[in-house]
Structures are given as C-alpha cells and as structure tokens.
C-alpha cells in the first residue's frame, strides 16, 4: 500500500555527464535502460550482454556496489510483472537489486502528465511487505512503538499511517507505511532498506511478536484522479474508502490488500495482490481507457512535486525527522508531555529538536529561470562569497509546475518561505526562492 519512494537512477546518458564522463559511451544509465551502445569498449562486467547490451549503474545509484561495477540484468531480481513490462516496451534498469521499468514508450514527461490527469499504474513490487503478529493486537502495536516515534496504539483498525524507523542518533533508517489490519500490522518498507529493516525488527521486537515477510505478493499502485472510477469498476467498495483506509477487496478474483494512498500527491490506491494473480489484475487495469503504465522516472518527478521525501536522498541516517519536516507524523502522545512520550531510538535528539527547533530544515526551492538544480547543488545565502548554507537533495524539472523544482536542507535562519537564496550550478550562483511544499496541491480523498 504505501509509499514507494525510491527513484530511478538519475544520470542519464548523453554526451558527457557533469563529471566529464562520457556517459552514453560508458553505457551508464543509458545502456542500463537497454540501449545498445557498442562503440567504445568498457571493461569488465559492463561488457556482459544480457537483455541489454551493457548495464552499468550510475554513480549515485543507492546500492551501487562499487565504481564501474556493472549489474547484469539477468542477475537482478524480477517482480511478478517483469514479463509484462518487457511486453509493454519498458526500459528496464537496475534498481535496489531489481530490474524495474524506468519508463515506457510514453516517456517520463508523458507518464507524469498522464498520472496527474487520468490514472497511472506503477509496479512497486520491489518494496518490502511485512506482517507483524503477537499475542494481542495491543501488544504488537506497543512493541512497534519502541522502534518508531509514531502512535501505533492510536491507529484504529482499517487505517494506515506513515512512519519511520529512527536511529539511536535520531536519524532515519527508513520510512514506511503501516496499517492496522485487526489481528496484525501490515507494513511496507523501501526496497533498498528492507533487509536491514527486517533484521532490525527481528533483533529488537520482543519474542512475542512474529514477523512474516510477504514474498508471494506483488504490489501495484494506481494513482491519479481517475483511480476511483477505474478501481470501482472492479469492485464498487473501492469508492467507499477514504484516504489512508485499508481493506481487503476481491479484485479480478484475487484477495487483495488495498489502501487508499500512494506517493504521487494524487488520489489513488496501493494494491497488494497474490503474485500469481498480479499480471492478470494489471492487464485488467491497463485495459481501462484511463490507465497507462508509469515507470520510476515519472514516479520521481511526481513525488518531488508532491514534496515527498525519497529515502536515501532527502532523508537518511544523518537527517532527523524534525529537520526533515516530518513532525506531522509524530503524534502528540509520543512527544514531551504526551502519555507515551519518547521510548523510541533517538528520542533525546528528536524531542529536543521538537522543543527547540533544528539547526537546519528541509525546504522547497523554486529556482528562477529554467536551469534545474539537481541533487548536490550547494546553496548559498548570497550571490558571492560565504560558506554554503545547505544543499539540494532532490531536484529536477517539474512537468506539472512547468519549471524547475527542488528540495534540500538549509540552516534554519534561511528556511523561511520567500527567502531568496542561491544555488551554484556549473560555477554560477543562480537565484532560487524558498517555498512551502508541496509544489502541486495534494489531491487526496479525505
């Protein structure tokens, strides 16, 4: 159901990347996408040929094993929808150990715009799905509260919440969605973090809590304003769900765990479907006139415009939830003075920052002009001189906004909306204005 937040590799082909590497030639993202570029020779694994001639992971790829180490697509894990992606003409890329579609023939811009106007179907089966059970539902909820600064006990049956695992230092080791499904908690975690998350839970939850990894289900997201109309044709109960509701619905003859949520800023659903029914259900949804398949490329621009964090870019073990502006997810009951205040890893720092304010904050940035400010762009208070006040953590072109959009961290003194700061792009300091997130208004059915 939740929240996928990974992003596709970002350095795309072409000519040369910013470091002067001949990316097309080296076959970075471009050949990872399945382009056959076979002129100049690169070495080692990057030469091995499978579905695609050459597959090299971009340098900022989250779990890139080492510089110039290549993945081979055939060694990557596949989701139950792999064959369908290929049939649909997707460009497949390595992502968090999986071969995933980065785009379909419609292209990133077209897929982005289609999701905002109609409905987009995303394969997010690479994300981890976990069930937590215990002697009593309250016991499980209480145990989970020791690992996340969120009110789990306060979540009623049939509802879902956003949360995050915190570290002893008050950083974030992953963000997640969890749902109260009566006799168990259903959780969705990021693909790149899932093994660590599972180990963390197994090591730190009491023995009375059992953890089941769901590996026989796919996860697809249907996102966009037409989602309700589309899913209701398969099961009219879908229309009765509100934002963040979870239900078991029979769809195309399969028992599906459905939540009304997503990670695009649009209304929509996330659907956990038995693996052996995943392709049939997906084909049925794609057969609806409003629905197009959407890849990781558009997923990234959609979530960025929606102001949503990508784990590994915008949040990680060095950023606290308070710095990241995720305090809305920490209910009062877990804060200082609350009935169940603290009691989670890093509570000292997180509660202190809630009271006193953090030294830096995540902000939205609207660059002036047309030049995108990409991840890693240093930010300055003035046009000349001075030390950086922060850095862009996600940035690019916002197709719905029609202009560049970015988010990043700046010292708290510069974080107020409408503050004009500067991002250094190719040696030039270009102006940008701090803006409230999201860039595009959320379109949820509350």
Partner 1 sequence: MKYTEEHEWLRAEGDVVVVGITEHASTQLGDVVFVELPEVGTTCDKDDELAVIESVKAASDILAPIDGEVVEINEMLVDNPGKVNEDPTGDSWFFKIRPSDPSQMDDYMDEAAYKDLIG
Binding-site ranges for partner 1 (CB under 8 A): 8, 10-18, 20, 22-25, 29-30, 33, 35-40, 53, 103, 107-109, 112, 297, 301, 370-372, 374, 396-397, 399, 404, 426
CA dist list (Å): 189 to 22, 31, 131, 166, 171 = 35, 29, 11, 14, 16
The DSSP annotation for 326-371 comes to -GGGS-GGGSTTSTT---STTHHHHHHHHHH--SEEEEEEEESSS-
CA 8/CA 436 separation, integer angstroms: 25
Ramachandran region, residue 378 (left: φ > 0; alpha: ψ -120 to 50; beta: rest): beta
Decide whether 35 or 341 has the Cβ nearer to partner 1: 35
| Least distance from partner 1 to the Cβ atom of residue 119, Å | 20
Decide whether 4 or 297 has the Cβ nearer to partner 1: 297
- Encoded tokens for 283: 């084909």
| Least distance from partner 1 to the Cβ atom of residue 368, Å | 13
| Least distance from partner 1 to the Cβ atom of residue 108, Å | 4
| Least distance from partner 1 to the Cβ atom of residue 196, Å | 28
Decide whether 237 or 368 has the Cβ nearer to partner 1: 368
| Residue that the structure tokens 């715009």 belong to | 113
Decide whether 10 or 360 has the Cβ nearer to partner 1: 10
| Least distance from partner 1 to the Cβ atom of residue 399, Å | 7
Give the phi and the psi of residue 120 in degrees, each rounded to 5. -115, 145
Q: Which among 218, 205, 331 is positioned nearest to 272, based on CA atoms?
A: 218
| Least distance from partner 1 to the Cβ atom of residue 373, Å | 10
Decide whether 58 or 171 has the Cβ nearer to partner 1: 58
Decide whether 23 or 261 has the Cβ nearer to partner 1: 23
| Residue that the structure tokens 């990057």 belong to | 46
State the angle between helix axes of 275-286 and 227-234 in degrees (0 to 180), rounded to the nearest 10: 120
Q: Which among 316, 322, 323, 324 is positioned nearest to 334, based on CA atoms?
A: 322
């Amino acid at each position: 159901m939740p929240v996928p937040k990974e992003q596709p590799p970002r350095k795309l082909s072409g000519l040369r990347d910013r470091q002067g590497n001949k990316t097309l030639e080296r076959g970075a993202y471009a050949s990872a996408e399945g382009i056959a570029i076979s002129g100049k020779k690169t070495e080692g694994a990057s030469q091995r040929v499978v579905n695609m001639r050459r597959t090299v992971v971009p340098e900022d790829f989250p779990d890139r094993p080492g510089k110039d180490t290549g993945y081979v697509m055939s060694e990557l894990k596949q989701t139950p929808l792999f064959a369908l992606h290929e049939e649909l003409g997707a460009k497949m890329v390595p992502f968090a150990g999986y071969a995933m579609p980065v785009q379909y023939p419609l292209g990133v811009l077209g897929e982005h715009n289609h999701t905002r106007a109609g409905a987009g179907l995303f394969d997010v089966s690479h994300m981890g799905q976990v069930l937590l059970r215990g002697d009593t539902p309250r016991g499980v909820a209480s145990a989970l509260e020791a690992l996340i600064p969120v009110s789990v006990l306060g979540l009623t049956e049939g509802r879902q919440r956003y949360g995050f695992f915190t570290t002893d230092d008050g950083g974030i080791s992953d963000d997640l969605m969890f749902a109260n499904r009566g006799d168990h908690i259903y959780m969705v975690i990021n693909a790149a973090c899932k093994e660590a998350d599972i180990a963390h839970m197994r090591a730190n939850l009491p023995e009375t809590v059992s953890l089941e990894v769901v590996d026989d289900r796919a996860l697809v997201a249907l996102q966009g304003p037409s989602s309700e109309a589309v899913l209701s044709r398969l099961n009219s109960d879908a229309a009765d769900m509100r934002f963040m509701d979870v239900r078991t619905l029979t769809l195309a003859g399969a028992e599906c765990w459905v939540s009304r949520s997503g990670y695009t800023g649009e209304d929509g659903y996330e659907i956990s479907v038995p693996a052996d029914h995943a392709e049939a259900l997906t084909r049925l949804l794609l057969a609806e006139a409003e629905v197009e398949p959407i890849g990781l490329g558009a997923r990234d621009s959609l979530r960025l415009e929606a102001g949503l964090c990508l784990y590994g870019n915008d949040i990680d073990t060095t950023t606290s939830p308070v710095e990241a502006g995720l305090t809305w997810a920490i209910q009062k009951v877990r804060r200082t003075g609350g009935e169940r205040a603290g009691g989670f890893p890093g509570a000292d720092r997180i509660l202190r920052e809630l009271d006193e304010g953090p030294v830096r904050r995540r902000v939205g940035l609207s660059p002036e002009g047309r030049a995108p400010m990409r991840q890693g762009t240093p930010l300055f208070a003035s046009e000349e001189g001075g030390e950086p006040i922060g850095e862009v953590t996600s940035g690019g072109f916002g197709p719905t906004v029609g202009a560049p959009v970015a988010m990043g961290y700046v010292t708290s003194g510069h974080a107020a909306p409408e503050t004009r700061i500067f991002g250094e792009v190719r040696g030039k300091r270009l102006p940008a204005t701090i803006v409230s997130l999201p860039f595009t208004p959320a379109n949820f059915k509350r």
